[in-house]
Structure 1
């Protein structure tokens, strides 16, 4: 069976590995990103370059976007040069950016007007999950056509769940980010406490990561903190963006989220101190600085 042509926009930390997995699975992939140099290794591996969003949209049967901010999503989807104006009838348009649930609902409405199938499908699992094709993919959109694109999702992730109609994927990702935000504070505090108590934090991890305190952040980001490795699997600046979206959504629902707001305030301070392009585990640097004062 012939695999559909995929158009992929955004080849950053996550997108590059996702494209690589699609290529290895035999999918023809056309790519576009603002800076062609970021896609050069993928082009050498078989991806085809498109000069702009419109050309990519016209060629593809499945269009996947994973860009930075909701404003970037609007830029690639709207206008005469955007995806919605140029995609072929019946195409699938899948935004895997962590973005606004309200924007996802709006894109879905406009896509239906043009006989396109829109899905919001943000991911979790970081750079490691993207490389291994083991991302969690949270999907919002119509159930009727969902099964047709599951094979594409399963190349990139191993936990693919349709959460509900348009916007449901983004709301689920907000739940994910809310849980991570408070958990990250706990992970950092645990490690800095271990160090202050004169313990070997790596040895402490051997005990607590397999008990009730265990979490993905503790097992995957805790060791990076201890090794002073703050390379981004997920950027601080993007996490701040996600928390802001979650706070805005919670405010609309009149839902108090004090833990989330505290976490965001700490990450805001980290960003002001020059950490916006670090990985989210760099919150450890801020805590350590406070502990040494």
Structure 2
């Protein structure tokens, strides 16, 4: 039984993780925190979260462990090995990886967790920094129905649309569908903004018209205004989107699929990263078109 007396371990408090953890904290849950850079968790610690000096220490003291890190190799590092989550968590612990990662890795975590009587879910998210702050993230889960039902009250604090998509790995596959959709859409958003400016239009007024029509999308409503303002602060890093698209492209190839839109977007974002924009928000893509 997960209650307000349960301890939630949270690993990774970056742009999105810190807001997701803060929402759990505001809802009255006890948090223990581990992140590579302690300063990133200072706001949570100031509000009562407890710092743990290692993954193993956090795992031993938590009934639920949520991870939100950067790359698949980070996920492997914190879950596997003698100092990892799976070797140190108690039987009956729930582990939820909310990182966008490889479906095959989610399946392996589930396999090893099940062998140790630990309940594992993959539950990547979409919605960026805005969704994380507002607790309205789309959460795409993979794993067992019973485990999903148990942790649903926690997921509901962080997200709005929360769906169990299937067995282990299904959440990651769904997130890759999300990233494939965004990849081509971002090109269109950038081209539209630059076209509006070249045509002598007021891009803000143009957005007022087209965001409510058939062209409407999250990126158009939330990232296009940032492009117009020249605000390239990261709600989602270019480097992390490149990671996601690379995983998606590899997964598509494994499935025998051709994804030309995804391939083009990935090549453009790699070009953007080479120009020094790795740590910018994904909306910085417009710089290539201006």
State if a TM-score over 0.5 links the two structures. Answer: yes
Q: Distance in 1 between matches of 2:146 and 2:61?
A: 24
- Can you list the C-alpha shifts for 1:33-81, whole angstroms capped at 9, x where unaligned? 0011111111001111001000000000000000000000000001100
1:119 match: secondary structure: strand
Contact 2:86 2:112 in 1 (8 A): yes
SS at structure 1 position matched to 2:117: coil
Which residue of structure 2 lines up, in the alignment, with residue 187 of structure 1? Answer: 189
Q: Deviations over 1:128-153 (max 9, x none)?
A: 00000010100000112221100000
| Structure 2 stretches lacking a partner, 5+ long | none
Write out per-residue CA displacement over residues 195-231 of structure 1, whole angstroms, 9 at most, x where no aligned residue: 0111110010011110100110001000000000000
Could you tell me how far 1:3 is from its partner in structure 2? 3.9
What's the counterpart of residue 242 of structure 2?
Answer: 240
Q: 1:164 maps to which residue?
A: 166
2:121 and 2:147 in contact (8 A); partners too: no
Query: 2:87: which partner in 1?
Result: 85
In structure 1, how many angstroms separate the alpha carbons of the residues matched to 2:68 and 2:279? 18
d(CA) in 1 for partners of 2:4 and 2:269?
46
Q: Distance in 2 between matches of 1:185 and 1:49?
A: 41
Counterpart residue number, 1:18: 20
Q: TM-score, normalised by structure 2?
A: 0.98
Q: Give the structure 1 partner of residue 75 of structure 2.
A: 73
Cα shift readout 1:78-115 (whole Å, capped 9, x = no counterpart): 11000000001010011000000000001100001100
Report how many aligned residue pairs link the two structures.
288
1:4 Cα deviation after fit: 2.0
For residues 102 and 200 of structure 1, do their structure 2 counterparts lie closer, same or farther at Cα, with a shift above 3 Å needed?
Answer: same
CA positional deviation for 1:2: 4.0
1:149 is matched with which residue?
151
In structure 2, the residue matched to 1:5 is: 7
Out of 256-265 and 34-43, give the one that drifted further.
34-43
Give yes or no for the alignment of 1:257 onto 2:259. yes
Runs of 4+ off more than 6 Å: none
After TM superposition, give the deviation of residue 158 of structure 1 in Å.
1.1
Partners of 2:171 and 2:212 lie apart in 1 by 30
For 2:178 and 2:102, locate their aligned partners in 1 and report how far apart those are by CA, in whole Å: 14
For 2:234 and 2:40, the matched residues in 1 are separated by 16
Cα distance in 2 between the residues matched to 1:124 and 1:54: 28
Partner of 2:141: 139
8 A Cα contact 2:4 2:28, kept in partner: no
CA contact (8 A) 2:124 2:139 kept: yes
Tell whether 2:100 aligns with 1:126.
Answer: no
3-state SS of the aligned residue for 1:272?
helix
Task: Give the structure 2 partner of residue 213 of structure 1.
Answer: 215
Whole-Å Cα distance in 2 between the matches of residues 135 and 200 of structure 1? 31
**TM-score scaled by length of structure 1:** 0.97
> Please, what is the CA RMSD of the aligned residues?
0.7
Tell me whether 141-150 or 105-114 shows the greater mean CA deviation: 141-150
| DSSP 3-state at the match of 1:145 | helix
